[in-house]
Amino acid sequence: MLETTLWIVLVMLSIAVLLCFIRVVKGPTMSDRILAIDLLGINMIGIIGLIMIIQDTLVYVDVLLVLGIIAFIGSIALSKFIERGIVVDRDNN
Amino acid sequence: MMKNSLSLQTISRIAVFIILLFSVYFLFAGHNNPGGGFIGGLMAASALVLLYLSFGTKKINKVIRINFPYLIATGLLIAMATGVISVIFGYPFLTQFYEYFHFPLLGKAGLATALLFDAGVFLVVIGVTILVILTIAEDDD
């Protein structure tokens, strides 16, 4: 029962990743692309968590943490780029 | 253009220490588990990049007084010295030694000279990443 549910959720998350990728490619504005990239990272974290449950292991926990940190910093940098036009500014208030 | 980024600064003050602790964990876990000097250095560099993003280069350069090219050279020297030391004792280049010791709080733990090589890689990766990002960021005027 649990196995079947896990595989169904895995397929649904894969479809969600595909939809995010379509939004990244043809997003009308820059904000749509940034939001889709952030959501793609979160979906990948979910997929790796499900794979960890399926394979009954704890090895991929480090992968989860690294993906979370990279997605956090990446979305901060991109949103700062569309807000100010510069990523690392020289003097901040 | 003065925008108030108080929430970003408050979050990053806490998150930087968590990411730095995580990078040190990766450096020490790298012998038998996933991890090592390269990914640990990348995590430490991403913590420093988060600081530079939220506070600006002027303020952080006043706090972190590290000459990053010297950091790269120091890391390369440490990584090369671990190889040369095994040559001095008559073994092939980059031979690593492994021994178990008793520590007061940690109990029995294994110490390997590969950790010193990984520490050198750690410093090199931090230096290269921060140097590349700061050089690109300061190019705009």
State both tokens at A1. Answer: 């029962």
Question: How many Cα atoms occupy the beta-carbon half-sphere of B133 within 13 Å?
Answer: 23
The pTM of this model reads 0.84
Domain boundaries, chain B: 6-137
Say what the pLDDT of residue B83 is: 86
Residues of chain B with pLDDT under 50: 1-2
Q: pLDDT tens digits for A46-91?
A: 999 999 999 999 888 888 999 999 999 999 888 888 887 777 777 7
Q: Residue A9: which of A49, A41, A56, A38 has the closest Cα?
A: A49
pLDDT tens for residues A4-46?
999 999 999 999 999 999 999 997 888 899 999 999 999 999 9
Q: What ipTM goes with this model? A: 0.80
CB-CB contact of B78 with B116 (8 Å): yes
Place of tokens 């890689």: B121
- List CB contacts (< 8 A) between A76 and chain B: 8, 50, 53-54
Q: Which two tokens stand for residue A7?
A: 């595989």
Q: Does A73 contact chain B (CB < 8 Å)?
A: yes
Closest residue in A to B134 (Cα–Cα): A88
Closest to B55 in 3D by CA, of B16, B28, B100? B16
- Rounded to 10 deg, the angle between the B6-29 and B37-55 helix axes is 170
3-state secondary structure of B99: strand
A87 contacts chain B (CB < 8 A): yes
Residue with tokens 């930087």, as numbered in its chain: B16
Cα separation, A28 vs A37, in Å, equals 14
Q: How far is B56 from chain A (nearest CA, A)?
A: 5
Comparing CB atoms, the residue among B15, B35, B57 nearest residue A90 is B57
> Would you state the pLDDT for residue B4?
67
| Three state DSSP letters for A24-80 | HHHCCCHHHHHHHHHHHHHHHHHHHHHHHHHHCCCCCHHHHHHHHHHHHHHHHHHHH
Distance CA B120, CA B40 (A): 11
Residue to mutate among B4, B5, B129, with most A CBs inside 10 A, is B5
- Rg (chain B; Cα; Å): 18
- Which of B12, B33, B46 to probe by mutation at the A interface, max A CB count within 10 Å? B46
| Angstrom distances, CA of residue B131 to CA of A8, A38, B126 | 45, 26, 8
